[in-house]
Structure 1
Amino acid sequence: MTDYKKDLGLKESTSIVISRIIGSGIFRTPAPIMALVGCTSLFGLVWVLGGIITVFGAVIYAELTAMIPRSGGPYVFLKEAYGPYIAFLRGWAMFFVSETASIVAVALVFTEYINAIFVIVTGDPFGLITTLTISLITIWTLTSINLFGVGLSGKFQVFSSIVKIAAVGAIIGITLTGFSTGNLGNFSDPLWPQDFGWSTILSIGAALRYSFFAFSGWEGATYMAEEIREPQKTLPLSLFLGIGGVMVLYLGANLGYLYQLDVESIKENKWVATAAVKVVLGASGGILISIAVAINAFGNI
């Protein structure tokens, strides 16, 4: 049986939770969410519901981790509940589908925001080959860091989480204090959907997919339970601290987006963070925040 080094404490495990969540979602998903719901009340509801349901998931994982403090996350839980066959299928599904697709998606968003800087400076977007090349180099670079061991990886996650909190905090501060460009009328135009029927309910359900993507990754700390000191106490606390902090940051960022951009502008801007800060600070602000968002995505791969 493998003996794992207990190199990760509350600070590192909470940093892993925060770093795994804050990446590309809060900067890429507001546009499709707003396109689906079309009004500010449902836009806010989708983000609040996404956070609440994520907390419910964390409660379940916290209880399971306290009962089974072993590395592997859902693989270990499924093995205990249903046996090795189901756990094996889940493990390979994560390896080939869910985790792989998530890594690729975040790498592409990282490249999108690098592209946003390039467009602001030169006016020309990246081609397909350039986009794919940058994304692949990004994935390989982060893989190399993880190969040097959990200690170095943990320190990188602490640094990454600090940068991410600072970046999202900067977006909140800049957008919510841009009084000369902000418009409180954006919060109520439109406030409610034109009608509320099954189509609206289905739109909320579809929009929740993007909210869940933005909140995804919190379970990452459970993959290394045996490398965390006192995992029965440390992991549940790190999950609650990490998810709770991210919820506050996400709600603040979305308030900032709405203060600077109307509903139609949010729908049309896939680089919503860049667009919102650019309204306040101009092109230079758009470049700086694009760099910050790219760093966020980089640390989430």
Structure 2
Amino acid sequence: MEKGARHRHNTDKNHAGGSESEDFPEASSGGGGVALKKEIGLVSACGIIVGNIIGSGIFVSPKGVLENAGSVGLAVIVWIVTGLITAVGALCYAELGVTIPKSGGDYSYVKDIFGGLAGFLRLWIAVLVIYPTNQAVIALTFSNYVLQPLFPTCFPPDSGLRLLAAICLLLLTWVNCSSVRWATRVQDIFTAGKLLALALIIIMGVVQICKGEYFWLEPKNAFDNFQEPDIGLIALAFLQGSFAYGGWNFLNYVTEELVDPYKNLPRAIFISIPLVTFVYVFANVAYITAMSPQELLASNAVAVTFGEKLLGVMAWIMPISVALSTFGGVNGSLFTSSRLFFAGAREGHLPSVLAMIHVKRCTPIPALLFTCLSTLLMLVTSDMYTLINYVGFINYLFYGVTVAGQIVLRWKKPDIPRPIKINLLFPIIYLLFWAFLLIFSLWSEPVVCGIGLAIMLTGVPVYFLGVYWQHKPKCFNDFIELLTLVSQKMCVVVYPEVDGGSGTEGTREDMEEQQQPICQPSPGKDKDSLEQSQP
């Protein structure tokens, strides 16, 4: 990792707003350098948020939300409240995104506010749990919706589900490695299937209501509990719902590429989050018009069961549409995770080979292969709902830490420019909700939450050995350099270059900056004084 930082800074002298080589455009500039361009306008920004939120969650999580909520009415309330809380969290991230205008999202914010260790733990848990788990769940959902029509009287075989999910991951990894343009076109095509599936579900729900089929939506029936209310289970219902809203913060990963981020970042949030909340709530209402709670809980593919009850001979449309949606979701997640891992490697927090791109295709092949391998390993986990709980708990943990960092930054640095400045009541509301989820989730599922925390804490020794400890044995450095060289030759990749950076004079200074928080105890202590204190 140390060498990765050295190679990175040889070619990349960062300005205060972040690196100019953090992404991988489809072609290099004439001088051999790679630079980010501000090409994401308002429409594209909304597409990033909506496209990343609407994945497999709305087709998988309705079962988990209803099961833990205990009644139809409370389940609908969970979907509405989760959407509102998501909007509050997105507003907090909007302020952070323009105050710390770096790509990398909450990883960059946590690193700059709390220091290198905290940022590394965020990246570490994303590498080990969040992205592999998310991609595994979406891939398993894809395979379930493809195979379910072939097994109308029983569940598809587990081995078949996992094999098809693995094939899906390998195929899309190849597409993303081959061309950024190909990956973008795949995303556009399969987003159409995603929107078609949800529009069809909502329209059929409206038709059902017009026909008087709304028994479970009547107040006396909607709040008829089929199990004893439990505050811990309600917290788990919110975690299941939060999985469906996952991806609302992905626009912050590409802040440096936004056209006029001070305007378009909050505008995209104001448009996208209410739109997704509307779609999610009415999709769940549509499910209830066609299925009883017992039927919904018994279904392993909610949207397929919905289509079978309402579409008759055209029921095949639903599994195909949902499969298209989840296939595109895997593609988008692979693309996003490669950007995050690339950014982490650029900061010296991941092996330097992950910061390399193909010499002609300009795709981050090592980062894509790494995330594909980690997702394939995650497929051995037997219960996808346990995977969702892992993702939800750890995500809320770091969402809360990031929003807490917003309050810390207000206190420590009250005078720094803030083009967007929200009322402090918003982060406080979000933190209270976050605390409620974590406390009661830990109470209800101590083993699941404990495993998530244990995985996160494994990053502490890795950080001190891999990042903080700079004077490693020469034999270790030579071995890592050999592995990096072999990987370069196998993948035909190089470090991206930009004009204006040469030599190694900034290496120690920038590595020291990684380990220091933005909020220093002594305001006058800057990078120069830190560098002078080095032996």
236 and 89 in structure 1: CA distance in 2 versus 1, 3 angstrom threshold:
same
182 and 259 in structure 1: CA distance in 2 versus 1, 3 angstrom threshold:
farther
Instruction: Provide the residue aligned with 2:96 in structure 1.
Output: 64
Instruction: Provide the residue aligned with 2:222 in structure 1.
Output: 191
Contact 2:102/2:256, CA 8 A, preserved across alignment? yes
Instruction: Provide the residue aligned with 1:262 in structure 2.
Output: 292
Distance 2:275 2:254 in 1: 21
Local SS of the residue matching 1:217: coil
The 5-angstrom pairing of residues 71-220 of structure 1 reads: 71-120=103-152, 125-148=155-178, 153-178=183-208, 183-188=213-218, 190-194=221-225, 199-220=229-250
Contact 2:149/2:319, CA 8 A, preserved across alignment? yes
Superposed displacement of residue 246, structure 1: 0.9
Contact 1:19/1:160, CA 8 A, preserved across alignment? no
Instruction: Provide the residue aligned with 1:285 in structure 2.
Output: 314
From 46, 54, 59, the counterpart of 1:22: 54
Contact 2:61/2:244, CA 8 A, preserved across alignment? yes
From 38, 44, 48, the counterpart of 2:80: 48
Q: Cα RMSD (Å) of the superposition?
A: 2.4
Encode CA deviations 1:11-33: one digit per residue, 9 max, x unaligned.
22211211111111111111222
More helix by proportion, 1 or 2?
1
Encode CA deviations 1:143-173: one digit per residue, 9 max, x unaligned.
3343356555445444443432222011111
Q: Does structure 1 residue 224 correspond to structure 2 residue 257?
A: no
Contact 1:23/1:300, CA 8 A, preserved across alignment? yes
Superposed displacement of residue 196, structure 1: 11
Gaps of 5+ in 2: 1-11, 13-20, 22-34, 331-535
What amino acid is aligned across from residue 119 of structure 2 in structure 1? A
Local SS of the residue matching 1:29: helix
Contact 1:274/1:286, CA 8 A, preserved across alignment? yes
What TM-score, normalized to structure 1? 0.89
Contact 2:303/2:318, CA 8 A, preserved across alignment? yes
Distance 2:316 2:227 in 1: 40
Instruction: Provide the residue aligned with 2:324 in structure 1.
Output: 295
Encode CA deviations 1:20-57: one digit per residue, 9 max, x unaligned.
11111111111222222232211111111111111111
The 5-angstrom pairing of residues 218-257 of structure 1 reads: 218-257=248-287
Superposed displacement of residue 182, structure 1: 6.3
Relative to structure 2, which stretch is displaced further, 226-235 or 16-25? Answer: 226-235
76 and 286 in structure 1: CA distance in 2 versus 1, 3 angstrom threshold:
same
155 and 182 in structure 1: CA distance in 2 versus 1, 3 angstrom threshold:
farther
163 and 11 in structure 1: CA distance in 2 versus 1, 3 angstrom threshold:
farther
Superposed displacement of residue 193, structure 1: 4.5
Which one has a bigger Cα radius of gyration? 2
102 and 24 in structure 1: CA distance in 2 versus 1, 3 angstrom threshold:
same
Aligned residues: 297
Contact 2:155/2:300, CA 8 A, preserved across alignment? no
Distance 2:270 2:174 in 1: 30
Distance 1:35 1:220 in 2: 29
290 and 181 in structure 1: CA distance in 2 versus 1, 3 angstrom threshold:
farther
Encode CA deviations 1:158-203: one digit per residue, 9 max, x unaligned.
4443432222011111232146986221223632245998x43322
Distance 1:143 1:16 in 2: 20
Local SS of the residue matching 1:251: helix
Distance 1:244 1:152 in 2: 30
Distance 1:130 1:292 in 2: 20
Local SS of the residue matching 1:218: coil
Gaps of 5+ in 1: none
Local SS of the residue matching 1:173: helix
What TM-score, normalized to structure 2? 0.52
What amino acid is aligned across from residue 77 of structure 1 in structure 2? Y
Q: Which has the higher contact order (CA 8 A, sep 6+)?
A: 1
Encode CA deviations 1:87-145: one digit per residue, 9 max, x unaligned.
1221121011111111111111111111212224xx56543332222112212333334
Distance 1:168 1:195 in 2: 27
Encode CA deviations 1:59-86: one digit per residue, 9 max, x unaligned.
1111111112221011110111011221
What amino acid is aligned across from residue 150 of structure 2 in structure 1? F
Local SS of the residue matching 1:277: helix
206 and 179 in structure 1: CA distance in 2 versus 1, 3 angstrom threshold:
closer
Contact 1:175/1:276, CA 8 A, preserved across alignment? no
